[in-house]
């Protein structure tokens, strides 16, 4: 007698500790580039969908609930958006992030795993605010990135807000208008980094001052990715009993793996290291939200674009329970 086929979605549902709608994925597409100066990153979600990501997720057994209004982000750009201090496009970034927060919160409240496709990493002000509004201060954040993205308005040298989202959601800076809607629910001891290798001096000082746990590429080289992921999870979620939001910037990967991104840095994660992180987090049954950001289709040749989009889609599938066997 043939065995009944169990889908990836069903396996994840059996494992899930928090998702009441565990075989449903809530997808929010955020075509947004206001947090940094390079155009094209707003096309990342469209390219991933064009590559078939939604159909790939459905083929794993998931129902897909797609947030409406993907086309509205471009129209949110104010006619006038002068810098506040050094911060660039502050009203545009704050408005878009607030919209993202509402959409992610709706998916989390419905018990769906919230998947957000960016767009630049400034949208994490919204994704983390949305998930934390539902899961509270228990929420653990695993930040996979070449960069720390924890600059405050005082430490940023560029004023690009894709380098600042964590400072706002952690409450490291005063959330003045137009960011005054952000409630800093995230605890510093519930944040862990993997893959850092290009960290500003001011960010290093903040990480040390606040005792924030970070595993750089040096740690990956020294211990191996398996041990690093285990240590990262042990730090924020020792008993694997708390909800996890994973925010994955494709520039965490080496540029040879994901070339079409705005701020590539040599010496990054290999293809398998990036996928292992997603597989290991999926295995915990704790994942409640995932960001996949900074795919920029305008950078590089067509082969670079296809390679980066394919990797981005693959990382999402692994986070949703796709396995090698």
Looking at the annotation, which residues are catalytic?
Answer: 121, 145, 147, 149, 162, 249, 251, 294
The tokens of 305 are what? Answer: 């674009």
* Nearest one of 211, 231, 210, 212 to 220, comparing CA atoms: 231
Cα–Cα distance measured from residue 98 to residue 104, given in angstroms and rounded to the nearest whole number: 10
Eight-class DSSP state of 116: E
Could you give the angle at which helices 225-237 and 271-284 cross, rounded to 10 degrees? 40
Cα–Cα distance measured from residue 152 to residue 87, given in angstroms and rounded to the nearest whole number: 10
How many CB atoms neighbour CB 283 within 10 A?
Answer: 15
Cα–Cα distance measured from residue 169 to residue 179, given in angstroms and rounded to the nearest whole number: 10
Question: Which residue has tokens 């066997």?
Answer: 325
The tokens of 47 are what? Answer: 């390219």
């Amino acid at each position: 007698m043939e065995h009944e086929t169990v889908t990836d979605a069903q396996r994840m549902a059996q494992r899930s500790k928090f998702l009441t709608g565990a075989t449903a994925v809530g997808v929010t597409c955020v075509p947004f580039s206001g947090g940094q100066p390079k155009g094209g990153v707003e096309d990342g979600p469209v390219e991933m969908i064009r590559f078939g990501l939604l159909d790939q997720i459905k083929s794993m057994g998931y129902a897909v609930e797609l947030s409406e209004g993907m086309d509205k982000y471009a129209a949110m750009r104010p006619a006038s958006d002068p810098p506040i201090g050094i911060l660039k496009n502050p009203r545009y970034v704050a408005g878009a992030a607030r919209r993202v927060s509402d959409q992610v919160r709706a998916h989390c409240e419905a018990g769906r795993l919230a998947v957000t496709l960016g767009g630049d990493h400034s949208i994490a002000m919204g994704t983390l605010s949305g998930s934390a509004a539902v899961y509270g201060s228990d929420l653990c954040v695993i930040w996979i990135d070449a960069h720390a993205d924890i600059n405050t308005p005082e430490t940023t040298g560029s004023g690009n807000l894709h380098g600042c989202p964590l400072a706002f959601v952690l409450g490291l800076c005063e959330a003045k208008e137009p960011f005054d809607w952000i409630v800093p629910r995230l605890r510093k001891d519930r944040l862990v980094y993997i893959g850092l290798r290009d960290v500003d001096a001011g960010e290093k000082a903040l990480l040390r001052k606040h005792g924030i746990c970070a595993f750089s590429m040096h740690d990956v080289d020294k211990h191996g990715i398996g041990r690093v992921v285990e240590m990262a999870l042990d730090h924020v979620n020792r008993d694997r009993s708390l909800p996890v939001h994973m925010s994955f910037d494709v520039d965490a990967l080496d540029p040879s793996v994901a070339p079409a991104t705005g701020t590539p840095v040599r010496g990054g994660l290999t293809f398998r290291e990036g996928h292992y992180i997603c597989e290991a987090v999926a295995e915990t049954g704790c994942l409640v939200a995932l960001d996949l950001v900074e795919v920029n289709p305008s950078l590089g040749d067509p082969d670079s674009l296809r390679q980066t989009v394919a990797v981005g889609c693959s990382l999402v599938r692994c986070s949703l329970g796709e396995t090698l066997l």
